[in-house]
Amino acid sequence: MKMRFRWITVPGTVILLIIVLLTISPFGRKISASGSDLFLKIKVLNDIISIINDYYVEVPDWDEVMEGAYSGLLENLDPHSFYIEKKQLSNINEEFTGKFEGIGIEFDVLDGYITVISPVAGAPAEKAGLMVGDKIVKIEGESSYKIKRENVSKKLRGPKGSSVTVTIRRQGAEDFDVTIIRDEIPLYSVSAAFLMDDSAGYIFVNRFSGTTAEEIRDAMKRLSDEGMKQLVLDLRGNSGGLMDQAVEIADMFIDGRQMIVYTKGRIRGANEEFYSGRFNGFGKLPLVILINRGSASASEIVAGAVQDHDRGLVVGETSFGKGLVQRQYPLRDGSAIRMTVARYYTPSGRLIQRPYDGTMADYFEGFVEENRDSLLAAEDSAKVRPQYQTKKGRVVYGGGGISPDYYVKFERDLSRDTYKLLRHPSLVLFDYTSRTSEKYERYRNRKEKFFEKVEISDGDFESFLEAIQDKEIDVSIEKLKKDSDYLKLLMKAELAREFWGYDEYYKVIRQYDNQVQAAMQYLREASTMIGVANK
């Protein structure tokens, strides 16, 4: 501690050294040219540090104080630049490799609260019913308001089998508690890959990590061997990741040397162009890409390139609108910063990044609006949004995210009691299905018959309701009965997961997913686009 004080109480020498180094270095000449008062700001910062050190009521914890200053500096650049403490660096790097144990959410700290950007497919948070836009306002009864990003993992991660209770704030509902049982969260990218029918493949991609392209290639080969002739690529809720993986995946579907994305920044090294032509893939495969408001960054690169080249159709909802490129820079104390160095643009010239001139709250305020797409598509909004043209002259819009070729709103009208049941810590649906799966054991080796024949009977559903009453879960049985079709669907999906895994689980779920079913209907038009393009 004394060493720290001695360093801080010689501000004159430190400032003089900084000024000399900045003045004689090329970097110093650049920043002084962009702001003549930069040296004054550095002096003011040093003055503040000295005053705090000499006069604050208690001995300052300089580790905590300076980390707060570092975080504030990065947060004021843009919504996606941030400081990473040394002790959190390994956890941050796990986003793209390895495994960890926790609840499984993609999140950001928005308006002071942990906000769910996307639950990881199959993870405890999704099973507990957490949804896009949910705010975690308390953890174990303690307020999480203005929690540091780097502290979120400390609170939510933990050993497999342990529990954490969070208080959720959801639009249109009173705050409620959810107890989540932690589990291992494998950082795979392809959550599911299967044939929807005899010829239509479906691949659900949850992130862009170091193995995503390889996982998709493996899934494509397997589905092709099974008879796939067309594909729905589901990027809903995919918040992005590694840009090189997005480029490699777009390359699979775009033949020849075609631009996929380009970046523009202030430094020369940030200006890059990325083209297809390296991978001889699936350029003739009819393609529909599904996106929603949780699709961001790398997801938008893939969707934007496919749309601009008229290579396929984009269906769903307008994407998030994150068009900033970050690089991670290590610091001398073992910490790091992840900082925006460029913006990326689709081949037609669209900047996908949404404006962020206001506060962080302004930037995210429309994220969970129910009529977000209607607002973006409103006539006055369309007039001010910049228009671009695809390769074949179709009009597409910039100014914030990828707008789909066909807007399809996700529809699932369930009662609050049903949602309350699904997020109950007893996991009663999973528990009941596991205990009664023996009744359906004869289908374990008859998968096709399972999908064709199995329907959860009214008698089995009544037994399920009795199990709910036995556990004394505070829900309305009558309201659950109104949602019986959906609950029976989940029971069948849980059986499929127990017998075979998540491919089969999602195959059941997606049969009743209106956006996926709409995407299937647009595959014929996607096929026509390929035919016209190849004439």
Q: What is the pLDDT of residues 469-486, one digit of tens each?
A: 988 889 999 999 999 999
Q: Do residues 156 and 174 touch, judged by C-beta distance below 8 A? A: no
381 — pLDDT class (breaks 50, 70, 90): low
119 — pLDDT class (breaks 50, 70, 90): confident
Of 141-150, 249-258, 366-375, the range with the lowest mean pLDDT is 366-375
Measured between alpha carbons, how far is 399 from 385 in angstroms, rounded to an integer? 6
Q: What is the pLDDT of residues 387-417, one digit of tens each?
A: 999 999 999 988 888 999 999 999 988 999 9
Check pLDDT > 70 for residue 334.
Answer: yes
Of 144, 297, 299, 403, the catalytic one is: 297
75 — pLDDT class (breaks 50, 70, 90): confident
Of 135, 322, 420, 492, the catalytic one is: 322
In this prediction, what percent of the chain has a pLDDT beyond 90?
Answer: 51
Measured between alpha carbons, how far is 402 from 322 in angstroms, rounded to an integer? 10
Q: For residue 38, which amino acid is it?
A: L
Over residues 414-421, mean pLDDT: 90
In this prediction, what percent of the chain has a pLDDT beyond 70?
Answer: 84
Measured between alpha carbons, how far is 343 from 165 in angstroms, rounded to an integer? 38
Of residues 313, 347, 273, 259, the one with CA closest to residue 533: 313
Q: What is the pLDDT of residues 263-313, one digit of tens each?
A: 999 988 899 999 998 777 899 999 999 999 889 999 999 999 999 999 999
Of 20-34, 451-465, 489-503, 507-521, the range with the lowest mean pLDDT is 20-34
From residue 71, alpha-carbon distances to 100, 206, 335, 336 in Å are 25, 28, 12, 11
Of residues 74, 121, 138, 99, the one with CA closest to residue 239: 121
Of 175-179, 234-238, 273-277, 353-357, the range with the lowest mean pLDDT is 353-357
Biggest alpha carbon–alpha carbon distance for the chain: 82
Selected from 2.30.42.10, 3.40.30.10, 2.30.30.60, 3.20.20.70, the CATH number assigned to the domain covering 99-186 reads 2.30.42.10
Of residues 363, 343, 353, 357, the one with CA closest to residue 319: 353
Q: Is 322 a catalytic residue?
A: yes
Measured between alpha carbons, how far is 188 from 99 in angstroms, rounded to an integer? 9
Of 277-281, 284-288, 344-348, 506-510, the range with the lowest mean pLDDT is 277-281
Over residues 98-118, mean pLDDT: 79
2 — pLDDT class (breaks 50, 70, 90): very low
Structure tokens at 483: 């949602």
- In the CATH hierarchy, which fold is given to the domain comprising 190-328+339-410? 2-enoyl-CoA Hydratase; Chain A, domain 1 (3.90.226)
Check pLDDT > 70 for residue 211.
Answer: yes
Of 108, 134, 234, 308, the catalytic one is: 308
1 — pLDDT class (breaks 50, 70, 90): very low
Query: Which residues 6+ apart lie within 8 Å of 154 measured at CB?
Result: none
Please report where in the chains the tokens 């890059």 appear, as a residue.
272
- Between 1 and 221, the more confident residue is 221
Q: Is 308 a catalytic residue?
A: yes
Of residues 246, 209, 252, the one with CA closest to residue 120: 209
Measured between alpha carbons, how far is 122 from 430 in angstroms, rounded to an integer? 12
Query: Which residues 6+ apart lie within 8 Å of 106 measured at CB?
Result: 116, 117, 118, 119, 120, 207, 237, 239, 294
116 — pLDDT class (breaks 50, 70, 90): confident
How high is the pLDDT of residue 463?
94
Check pLDDT > 60 for residue 376.
Answer: no
Query: Which residues 6+ apart lie within 8 Å of 146 measured at CB?
Result: 112
| CB neighbourhood size of 374 (10 A) | 12
Outline where DSSP puts E strands in 187-291.
Answer: 190-195, 200-205, 230-234, 259-265, 272-275, 287-291
C-alpha distance across the termini of the chain, in Å: 74
Q: What is the pLDDT of residues 425-442, one digit of tens each?
A: 667 887 788 778 888 989
Q: Name the average pLDDT for the chain.
A: 85
Task: Report which listed range, 66-70, 78-82, 491-495, is most confident.
Answer: 491-495
SS (H, E, C) 313-375: EEEECCCCCCCEEEEEEECCCCCEEEEEEEEEECCCCCECCCCCCCCHHHHHCCCCCCCHHHH
Reported as type and span, the H/E element at residue 417 is helix 416-422
How high is the pLDDT of residue 78?
84
How high is the pLDDT of residue 373?
57
Structure tokens at 279: 């991978």
Measured between alpha carbons, how far is 240 from 247 in angstroms, rounded to an integer? 12
Q: Is 374 a catalytic residue?
A: no
Structure tokens at 165: 């209770």
Query: Hey, what long-range contacts does 73-80 have (CB within 8 A, 24 or more apart)?
Result: 74/337, 74/339, 75/360, 77/339, 77/340, 78/324, 78/340, 78/356, 79/108, 79/356, 79/360, 79/363, 79/364, 80/322, 80/324, 80/326, 80/340
Q: Phi/psi class of residue 172: alpha, beta or left (left: φ > 0; alpha: ψ in -120 to 50)?
A: left
Of 54-58, 76-80, 85-89, the range with the lowest mean pLDDT is 85-89
Check pLDDT > 70 for residue 244.
Answer: yes
Measured between alpha carbons, how far is 95 from 128 in angstroms, rounded to an integer? 22
Structure tokens at 45: 């910062």
All structural domains of the chain with their residue ranges:
2-60, 99-186, 190-328+339-410, 416-512
520 — pLDDT class (breaks 50, 70, 90): very high
Q: Provide DSSP, 493-510.
A: HHHHHHHT-HHHHHHHHH
Measured between alpha carbons, how far is 258 from 261 in angstroms, rounded to an integer? 9
